[in-house]
A and B are shown apart, each in its own frame.
Chain A
Amino acid sequence: MKSSVIFAACALLTLALLANGLHQALVVAPTEQTMGDVQRIFYYHVPSAWTAFLCFFANFVASIFYLVRRSLRSDSMAVASAEVGVVFCTIVLVTGPLWAKPVWGIWWTWDARLTTTLILWLIYVSYLLLRRLSLSEQMPVVAAAMAIFGFLDVPIVYMSIRWWRTQHPQPVIGGAPGSGIDPVMRHALYANFLAFLAYACLIIWFRYMLENRQNRLRAMEEVSWVPVPEGAEPSFADEAIQSPGEAS
């Protein structure tokens, strides 16, 4: 009961943050000089990217935790953060071309940041696929190893693609001297980042609780399983719950 009240409060808070972010991005922030209104995608594109990277980092930490402590809760955290990370990464990959077409004149270019984000997306989709297609009870170990490999790959991917080519603008936050943006724009950016981060945390929390419940259900099913005598009514557990290996 209590946790659901806290959850509802957090959901309301997130909603308020998102509304504020929308207002900041569409109304308060000034229109960009050369790009015009299309630049407002920036307030969704960049915060989504940051949020996705934080989700993948959370997945990495949770995976290490799982391998050290072997608690299923860490694994729930890993799957929740990876799934939400993939969603935000998808948002980045969709809003990017939408912005690039009117500004650069092309939908896609094989530039360092774009390519890195795409490869990141591919790695974590393959991670989720591995989880989905795993047979054994030991799927969390396998998934944790894969997650660590995937995260180790990110800096190498970034470095290699940067040597390959670069077209994406340099970072406007904490970039080279001379870069930077209008303070009002920066405020709108941070407001949206906060909102997206809160939203991501909310969904991760929800997914984490769901996964924990599924784990508990599986554990209960294993303990309470007894062969049903012939002619007897099938028990609830037989009908409603698939065994973990068959769940798809």
Chain B
Amino acid sequence: MSMLSLTRATLGKDLRLEWRSKDSFNSMVFFALLVVVIFSFAFEPSAEESRRIAGGLIWVAFLFAAMVALNQTWAREVRNRVLDAYRLSPAPANALFLGKALGNFIFVVLMEALITPLFVVFYNLRILGEPWLLALVLLLGTWALVVNGTFFAALSLHTRNREMMLPLILFPISIPAILAMVEATTAILTGEGATGPGTNPAVLWLKLLAGYDIVFTSAGLLLFDPILRAE
């Protein structure tokens, strides 16, 4: 089988399983909702304030919620010994990695699509910049979190308390991506800094995010094979 069809098979299997059980998706959405509600109690922002801090709050909420899904990434495969089967097969390990990452990506984006409107309602947000850029930040930022998260979840399979290990190794590496997402989102929400064409700070941060995605997607694809074979 080619790399493409294998990726599609892995992705299809994950989507179907998750669609039927909705285990990690439901807990992820509920967790994000809880974080959003608790933040609004903790900060009680006015409309002007909330526009400035919402970028940070929403990404922290998404980051924590994504952890719930990412921690479950490999749980089912380990339980059913899928990884052992994969090691024996001549199939490229990258296909598995890519399929898993895409599956996580789809579910995290769905979660964000559900929570973002709620966030806008709860915090009375009115977007002053360009909303379509926000969608781009969401996609690029989520991929940055998910591609590294999927890889590091595979790393943390080899550790003692794997659920706790994932954020410990993922967060430090993700700091520049989180910074870029938060800054881009804040720039779009407040509409600040865009004095003329080509000077929009959100675009600058989006470029950084794209660079981050390219670097770590390549690194993940290159290094996943030795990680899978390590047993």
Question: Which residues of chain A (197-238) have a CB below 8 Å from chain B?
Answer: none
* B175 interfacial contact with A, CB 8 Å: yes
Q: Is the CB of B204 within 8 A of A163?
A: yes
Q: How many A-B residue pairs have CB under 8 A?
A: 96
Q: Is the CB of A152 within 8 A of B216?
A: yes
Q: Is the CB of B175 within 8 A of A146?
A: no
* B138 interfacial contact with A, CB 8 Å: no
Whose C-beta in chain B lies nearest to the C-beta of A245? B160
- Which of A138, A141, A145, A164 is in CB contact (< 8 Å) with B179? A164
Dominant secondary structure at the A interface: helix
Query: Which of B179, B215, B219 has the most A CB atoms < 10 Å from its CB?
Result: B179
Residues on B with C-beta less than 8 A from A142 are 155, 158-159, 227, 230
CA distance A135 to B160 in the complex (A): 6
In the complex with contacts A67-B226, A126-B169, A136-B176 CB distance below 8 A: no
Q: Is the CB of A138 within 8 A of B175?
A: no
A129-155 to B contact mask, C-beta < 8 Å, 1/0 = 110011110110110111011101100
CA distance A125 to B152 in the complex (A): 15
- Which of A146, A153, A160, A164 is in CB contact (< 8 Å) with B155? A146
In the complex with contacts A145-B223, A148-B223, A157-B148 CB distance below 8 A: no
Question: Which residues of chain A (65-83) have a CB below 8 Å from chain B?
Answer: 67
Query: Which of B172, B180, B205, B216 has the most A CB atoms < 10 Å from its CB?
Result: B172
Chain B: residues with CB nearer than 8 A to chain A? Answer: 148, 151-152, 155-156, 158-161, 165, 168-169, 171-173, 175-176, 179-180, 183, 204-205, 208, 211-212, 215-216, 219, 223, 226-227, 230-231
